[in-house]
Amino acid sequence: MRHLAGLVALIAIVGACHRDGDARVGLSDVERCEQGVEKATLEPTLRDAMRTYLMACSAVYAEPACRKAVARAASADRREHPSIIGPPCRLAYCPLLADQHLDACRPEVGSDAGALATQWPTLHNAILTYDAKRYAPRLGRAMWRFYVTTLSWSTHEDTPLGAPSTTPTINPGQAGTVTAQVKARPSTNQAAP
């Protein structure tokens, strides 16, 4: 019994040592997301790419309800993602981010799917900054690359992705500067030579 009390005290002390500036997600979660983004850009269809991306990156959301929603969206149609991900993440994070006075966290946005979709980028950025701290820029760059890459893909879920794609290039000298370059994507539906 004394050992159990000592273990509980040790856990409480270690838990109290969590500094405000520490990331709530680990470097391994960030790296898994980055690797998943790279893999997603090579998937044969948009549906497969979204599934790979969402599954690989779900762990970068520390709040369980949001993390589970992102993972659940991986098996859903892309058009359903905002309604699957947005509300649980909003409910989980808005209380934690109340001091930021985000538009997505206003009470009237909760029942308006269109308003939440419009405000999602700002809320998502705040979530990544809150959870990933110093890793947030890495996640932002990886997710931005994936987003820009998918812009040139067919919006039909099962269309093979053999068309050229846009791949962003980040200019490290100017924060926030992104230029797009068109690169031919390896076709998955070409005949063998």
Question: Do residues 135 and 23 touch, judged by C-beta distance below 8 A?
Answer: yes
Per-residue pLDDT tens over the stretch 68-109? 999 999 999 988 999 999 999 999 999 999 999 999 999 888
User: What confidence score (pLDDT) does residue 158 get?
Assistant: 56
Tell me: pLDDT of 5 over 50.
Answer: no
Question: Do residues 46 and 161 touch, judged by C-beta distance below 8 A?
Answer: yes
Share of the chain above pLDDT 70, in %: 68
Position with higher pLDDT, 53 vs 187: 53
Position with higher pLDDT, 124 vs 171: 124
For CA atoms 84, 88, 90, 96, give the dihedral sign: negative
Domain ranges of the chain: 25-152
Mean pLDDT for the chain? 77
- The whole-angstrom separation of Cα 97 and Cα 102 is 8
Per-residue pLDDT tens over the stretch 146-179? 999 888 776 655 555 544 444 444 434 433 333 3
Question: Do residues 123 and 102 touch, judged by C-beta distance below 8 A?
Answer: yes
In sequence order, what are the beta bridge partners of 181?
167
* pTM exceeds 0.75: no
Region 123-134 average pLDDT = 96
Burial class (CB in 10 A: 0-12, 13-18, 19+), 20: exposed
Q: Which helix (H) or strand (E) holds 167?
A: strand 165-170
| Amino acid found at 174 | Q
Instruction: Reduce the DSSP state of residue 178 to 3 states and report it.
Output: strand
Cα distance from N-terminal residue to C-terminal residue, the chain:
72
